[in-house]
Structure 1
Amino acid sequence: MSTQVSVAQAKAEFAALVSRAEAGEEIIVTRNGKPVVRLSALTTAPVVYGDLAGLRIADDLSLPNDIVDDFLAR
């Protein structure tokens, strides 16, 4: 579900709009009747090792060996 509000209305009702966005509603903020910003909840995807499979680690990268080993093992 999407709702459009003007910049002025968004300024006046910002906390309420944030709460609505957190609840899953998409808020479109308009300026002079044109959509300019979308307010929606952040999605946090879990980190899955292996997403960077095939990534080459530079020899001069300064990371502890256990971190590099853990990355390469997965």
Structure 2
Amino acid sequence: MRSTSVGAFEAKTHLSALLERVERGEEIVITRHGRPVARLLPIARSAADAQAAAERLLQIGGDLALGRDWRALHGEEPH
């Protein structure tokens, strides 16, 4: 996925165009005075990122008991 950086003023001025680019799958990083302060991401990507993060936490946790397995909450069989 392509990522582009834009300043806050440009983001405000061209929000509609930026949203169209995000809908097509692009990630937009909004900066203020050259520092990243926000990201515009497609919704589907955010959900996939959340699931990937949950998987990484399960791998990192190994044998740690952190409560209910998230898969059980969704009716899936744990691996």
The interval holding the TM-score normalised by the smaller chain is 0.5 to 0.7
CA RMSD of aligned residues (A): 2.2
TM-score (ref. length: structure 1) = 0.60
Runs of 4+ in structure 1 displaced over 3 angstroms?
Answer: none
Aligned match of 1:11:
12
Provide the TM-score with structure 2 as the length reference: 0.56
| Bigger CA radius of gyration | 1
3-state SS of paired residue (1:5)? strand
1:52 aligns with 2:53: no
Structure 1 residue 53: Cα displacement: 6.0
Identity %: 46
Q: CA deviation digits over 1:14-46, x for unaligned, max 9?
A: 00000000100000000010000000110167x
Q: Which residues in structure 2 correspond to 1:1-74 (within 5 Å)? A: 1-43=2-44, 51-52=72-73
Q: Give secondary structure in 2 for the equivalent of 1:20.
A: helix
Q: Structure 1: which 5+ residue stretches go unaligned?
A: 55-74
Query: Which runs of 5 or more structure 2 residues have no equivalent in the other structure?
Result: 49-70
> Number of residues paired by the alignment?
50
